[in-house]
Amino acid sequence: MAPADKSKPGIMACDYEIHANLPKQALELFALAQAQLLGIRGYIVREAADVYKGQLQGEGKLIEQFKHLVGTAGEYVAAIKEFSIKNLKPIQKYTYETFEIRKPK
């Protein structure tokens, strides 16, 4: 097995869930802006009045930075009850082109 290339950070993927009491599109638009700034790919979808879910793809440190930015944003910090990351795993290549807001099914 060849040694890992340390010059190129690995791509990680994870599912996430945010419980927050915010106006309808406020968190979605904020998450979109932060993901675009960080270069993270994936999506966010509003599952219920106070539950958002999605997937993130990017360097592990950027995923952590995204979680920190969303969880500590001044205007949202009191409204966000929980931000959990699940199923964090390395992936070989991106499956999303960008970060997008999806409509609930």
Domain boundaries, the chain: 21-102
What is this structure's pTM?
Answer: 0.86
Tens of pLDDT, residue by residue, the chain (105 residues): 444 445 456 999 999 999 988 887 888 999 999 999 999 999 999 999 899 999 999 999 999 999 998 888 767 777 888 899 999 999 999 999 999 999 988
**Sequence-distant (≥ 6) Cβ neighbours of residue 76 within 8 angstroms:** 20, 22, 26, 27, 30, 70
Spatial contact of 76 and 34, defined as CB atoms under 8 Å apart: no
So what's the pLDDT on residue 44? 96
So what's the pLDDT on residue 9? 67
CATH 3.30.70.100 fits domain 21-102: yes
Which residues lie across from 101 on neighbouring strands? 44
**Sequence-distant (≥ 6) Cβ neighbours of residue 77 within 8 angstroms:** 71
So what's the pLDDT on residue 74? 67
Spatial contact of 31 and 44, defined as CB atoms under 8 Å apart: yes
Phi, psi of 28 (to 5 degrees): -60, -45
So what's the pLDDT on residue 104? 87
